[in-house]
Amino acid sequence: MAEFIPVGSFDIVIFGGTGDLAQRKLLPALYHRWADGQIPEDCRIVGISRSEMDDKGFRAFAFEACEEATPDALNKSEWKKFEKHLHYVAMDATQSDADWSALKQHLKLSDDRPLVFYLAVTPKIYVPICEALGAAGLNTPSARVVLEKPIGTDLASAHAINAGVGAVFKEECIYRIDHYLGKETVQNLMVLRFANSLFEPLWNRTAIDHIQITVAEHYGVGDRAGYYDGSGALRDMVQNHLLQLLCLIAMEPPNSINGDAIRTEKIKVLEALRPITAERAKRNTVRAQYKAGAVKGEPVPGYLEELGQDSSTETFVAIKAAIDNWRWARVPFYLRTGKRMKDRHSEIVVQFRETPHSMFGDAGTQSNRLVINVQPDEGVRLYLQIKEPGPGGLRIKSLPLNLAYADNFLVRYPDAYERLLMDVVRGNLSLFMRREEVEAAWKWVDGLLEAWEQAEVPMESYQAGLEDGPVEARLMLRRDERDWWEA
């Protein structure tokens, strides 16, 4: 049985306390950890935003949020105990002369009690908020600030945010969240690679033919169209989530799981990513938008219809990436992500090379393959070649050794934010991005955006809910005599 180890007492202040992220993720995550007995009784959770609201209103808002995010109805008497931790302060925290006295009344300021400032607001106001916190003397020795992605929209803006926040908080007090790093299966990538001696001798160009990383979503942009149109699949998903997955798959073994060891190895991978020039962008990338289609038999509009205007923002991207180092020379990494794909599935496929000689003729041999299901149906499958029993000649089938989480672990999968929030309180930075990581990822993405423009890479299309991206993404792999893997 999983055991929850209580964290020490802390206070958390959520800027954007009535926003989408607080509603969908942060408040439910804190509730679950409290219900599991991990959050001590004297902790305070303070929501801040400009809307006028009192504690009572905020508690009602949080109740609805937690109920929405919880499959079973919330236990009302338990909730009454939890809601006592919730408080609300209405203020404009971007003003340098903001009055922090109402907030300070809720906090127990001390040098060793963690004080978490979670910025669940637009990145444009990260720096003004931090400056105001600094001016109010709230950057205490035990204070830490959590920055949501996206950190900027390009290298220059990310640099400005990092410099501005860094002028108030030391790097070791800055927690840059990529919630993919809090997913159970993503953490398992490290365990799979570095707690099993089986893989490491094979984990390189000699045994691996190529690697595929897919993050497919079946929902569209919905009411986030305003934000999404200024971003697109490359900035919204590749710059952070997909590149983080790629780093964990490709990095060298870190010396330890603590401190900076993992982050240092990830940075090396990002720095080794081959820049995508205009010439390479034409052959090695595909961008596309979804057109009207259907999800579960129901018609759904195309991206432009949802947006209500013309746009050149991609909702799908596929990239053939290369890592220029000794381990990964000539091993392509195919990345793809899109909204309104056939279904929601995120997986990593490690395709091993063919046997050097096939003594079985045309009996149907394939190569070994390791499939890591990030979500849903979390698990790991290792495909091996097996002789099909029975008469009728030698037939070889590719079948998986199937390690499905659901069959092996009877636990509730905690949402990624639960683990990450508790790590902030514990002061564990290993699952958060360091400044250089964010900037190296932006550098590569900026180069690709520039290449798209220079090479005038066309905007392809795919039918919403009916296709796994455009045909051009399949052709990109066909040119290399490969295919996207389908279960």
Could you list the active site residues? 241
Q: Alpha helices of 344-411 — where are they, by DSSP H?
A: 405-408
Contact 47, 87 (CB under 8 A): yes
At closest approach, how far in Å is the CB of 484 from ligand BG6?
A: 18
Per-residue string for binding with ligand BG6, 373-412, x by CB under 6 A? ----------------------------------------
The nearer residue to ligand BG6, 242 or 429, going by C-beta atoms, is 242
Select the residue interacting with ligand BG6 from 83, 217, 439, 446 (CB under 6 A).
217
Q: Which of 116, 98, 91, 246 is nearest to 175 (CA)?
A: 116
Per DSSP, the three-state class of 278 is: helix
The nearer residue to ligand BG6, 183 or 266, going by C-beta atoms, is 183
Tokens matching residue 139: 């950057």
With CB under 6 A as the rule, give the number of residues binding ligand BG6.
Answer: 2
Select the residue interacting with ligand BG6 from 83, 209, 236, 314 (CB under 6 A).
236
* Displacement of CA 101 from its chain's centroid (Å): 36
Using alpha carbons, list the distances in angstroms from residue 232 to 176, 393, 430.
20, 52, 28
Tokens matching residue 112: 């060793």
* Residue 347 within binding range of ligand BG6, rule CB under 6 A: no
The nearer residue to ligand BG6, 178 or 467, going by C-beta atoms, is 178
The nearer residue to ligand BG6, 217 or 347, going by C-beta atoms, is 217
At closest approach, how far in Å is the CB of 235 from ligand BG6?
A: 9
Using alpha carbons, list the distances in angstroms from residue 487 to 220, 314, 348, 399.
23, 26, 12, 11
At closest approach, how far in Å is the CB of 396 from ligand BG6?
A: 36
Q: Which of 191, 181, 193, 241 is nearest to 217 (CA)?
A: 241
The nearer residue to ligand BG6, 11 or 236, going by C-beta atoms, is 236
CB-closest chain residue to ligand BG6? 236
Q: Which of 63, 104, 105, 113 is nearest to 84 (CA)?
A: 63
The nearer residue to ligand BG6, 182 or 254, going by C-beta atoms, is 182
What is the rounded CA–CA span in Å between residue 95 and residue 98?
5
The nearer residue to ligand BG6, 217 or 306, going by C-beta atoms, is 217
What is the rounded CA–CA span in Å between residue 211 and residue 350?
5
Upstream peptide bond of 150 is cis (omega within 30 degrees of 0): yes
Residue 64 has φ and ψ, to the nearest 5°, of: -60, -40
The nearer residue to ligand BG6, 179 or 434, going by C-beta atoms, is 179
At closest approach, how far in Å is the CB of 215 from ligand BG6?
A: 7
At closest approach, how far in Å is the CB of 116 from ligand BG6?
A: 20
What is the rounded CA–CA span in Å between residue 180 and residue 317?
18
Per DSSP, the three-state class of 230 is: coil
Using alpha carbons, list the distances in angstroms from residue 92 to 99, 125, 134, 138.
9, 11, 15, 16
Rg (CA), the chain: 24
The nearer residue to ligand BG6, 181 or 322, going by C-beta atoms, is 181
* Displacement of CA 356 from its chain's centroid (Å): 37
What is the rounded CA–CA span in Å between residue 410 and residue 343?
25
At closest approach, how far in Å is the CB of 19 from ligand BG6?
A: 13
Q: Angle at the Cα of 40 (from 37 to 42), degrees rounded to 5?
A: 145
At closest approach, how far in Å is the CB of 175 from ligand BG6?
A: 16
Summarize the chain as % helix, strand, coil (round to 5).
40, 20, 40
Strand-strand pairing, 459-463 and 208-216:
unpaired
Residue 411 has φ and ψ, to the nearest 5°, of: -125, 155
At closest approach, how far in Å is the CB of 461 from ligand BG6?
A: 19
At closest approach, how far in Å is the CB of 217 from ligand BG6?
A: 5
Which positions lie near ligand BG6, rule CB under 6 A?
A: 217, 236
